[in-house]
């Protein structure tokens, strides 16, 4: 069983509440000792954003991060659970390909140009521009809740790529990740800096505290990088994801910092964004030239994977932004539940009717 003591800052959170037939089945099973799973319900709906599918996939992936309170560690590598996860991944990946286009080979010598064209082709709304000029403090709190699903584990999914690369590409990834982890200084770890921002916004900084509030369209942005990071075969897509991640960071992070200052919130809350503006000016160059371009030279047959990872990131982020800004334009919350103050405690999920896991 997970040995962390409940109440510790590092303690895993309780399992979330189910959102449909897949999570009713999966979460009901995880509450029991590890055993062989039977056939789970099939995914349906818009598989790029579906709440049920993406909470199920996020829950499977979370077993490789910090796990959940009361869920046995042995579930992480239970073969039948991995088989269920593979079906969920296949559904998600198929929807991504349908949205971004089929995989195709790429010229390893044209990675810089190809990534530039992918960025230039992005025509969705700008979250950072909205926040800089129009966003309210309530908007920023809601935005921080969404982003907490990734930012409180920032850099961890990409770190899985380190043992799968070599030479210049490996060195570049280690260089970037070292900065993300504060170069050995605990208070400078980027996830810790984001937790400080959440404190300043009056939010619960606890890892996973808002999982029940965060919709599938947001979880999809985290599931994408977890999927690429956990599969060695998608190491090229992970490289492309990180390259675009870094290449699109400096300007938005500057805008978010400006938004907080406009709203009367300064250091240390704004430090998370200021640090990214400074660090990512270098990271974007390293990620492009020393990581993505070097990887394509080393493994030219996977150059197409680099571009696929970049297109996939643009796809899920566009849908996320459209959802959030669209909700606000209609005067409603973009979260599944209203904002919760720092003192709020996530509800204890109950086993829904029909969620019993077959023995």
Angle at 188 between CA 186 and CA 194, to 5 degrees: 105
By the 8 A CB rule, do 95 and 48 touch?
A: yes
Position 39 scores a pLDDT of 85
Query: Tell me: the pLDDT tens digits for 47-76?
Result: 999 999 999 999 999 999 999 999 999 999
What are the residue ranges in the chain where pLDDT is below 70?
1-12, 340-359
Helix (H) or strand (E) holding 95: helix 79-100
Q: Whose structure tokens read 């796990």?
A: 67
Position 157 scores a pLDDT of 98
Q: Where do the domains of the chain lie, and which CATH numbers do they carry?
A: 102-329 (1.20.910.10)
Alpha helices in 248-302 (DSSP H): 250-262, 271-285, 293-298
Position 353 scores a pLDDT of 42
Q: Name the nearest CA neighbour of 49 among 186, 246, 215, 179.
A: 215
Position 205 scores a pLDDT of 95
Helices and strands of the chain, counted as H and E runs: 15, 0
Q: Name the nearest CA neighbour of 154 among 254, 275, 59, 295.
A: 275
DSSP SS3 for 281: helix
Query: Other C-beta atoms within 10 Å of 350: how many?
Result: 9
Query: Tell me: the pLDDT tens digits for 263-310?
Result: 999 899 999 999 999 988 999 999 999 999 999 999 999 999 999 999
């Amino acid at each position: 069983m997970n040995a962390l003591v409940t109440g510790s800052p590092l303690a895993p959170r309780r399992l979330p509440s189910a959102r449909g037939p897949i999570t009713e089945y999966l979460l009901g099973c995880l509450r029991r000792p590890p055993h062989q799973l039977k056939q789970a319900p099939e995914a349906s709906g818009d598989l790029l954003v579906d709440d049920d599918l993406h909470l199920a996939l996020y829950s499977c992936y979370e077993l490789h991060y910090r796990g959940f309170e009361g869920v046995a560690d042995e579930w992480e590598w239970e073969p039948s659970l991995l088989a269920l996860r593979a079906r969920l991944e296949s559904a998600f990946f198929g929807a991504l390909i349908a949205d971004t286009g089929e995989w195709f080979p790429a010229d390893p010598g044209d990675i810089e140009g190809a990534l530039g064209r992918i960025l230039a082709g992005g025509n969705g709304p700008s979250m950072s521009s909205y926040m800089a000029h129009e966003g309210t403090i309530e908007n920023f709190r809601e935005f921080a809740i969404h982003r907490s699903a990734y930012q409180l584990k920032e850099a961890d999914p990409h770190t899985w790529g380190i043992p799968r690369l070599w030479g210049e590409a490996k060195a570049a990834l280690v260089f970037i990740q070292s900065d993300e982890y504060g170069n050995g200084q605990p208070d400078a770890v980027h996830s810790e800096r984001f937790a400080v921002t959440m404190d300043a916004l009056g939010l619960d900084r606890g890892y996973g505290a808002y999982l029940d509030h965060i919709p599938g369209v947001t979880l999809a942005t985290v599931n994408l990088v977890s999927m690429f990071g956990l599969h060695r075969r998608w190491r090229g897509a992970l490289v492309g994801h990180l390259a675009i991640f870094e290449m699109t960071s400096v300007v938005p992070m500057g805008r978010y910092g400006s938004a907080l200052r406009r709203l009367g919130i300064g250091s240390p809350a704004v430090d998370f964004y200021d640090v990214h503006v400074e660090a990512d000016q270098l990271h974007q160059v390293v990620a492009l030239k020393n990581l993505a371009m070097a990887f394509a030279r080393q493994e030219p047959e996977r150059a197409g994977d680099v571009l696929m990872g970049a297109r996939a990131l643009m796809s899920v982020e566009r849908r996320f932004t459209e959802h959030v800004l669209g909700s606000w334009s209609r005067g409603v919350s973009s979260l599944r539940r209203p904002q919760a103050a720092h003192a709020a405690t996530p509800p204890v999920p109950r086993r829904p009717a029909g969620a019993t896991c077959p023995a």
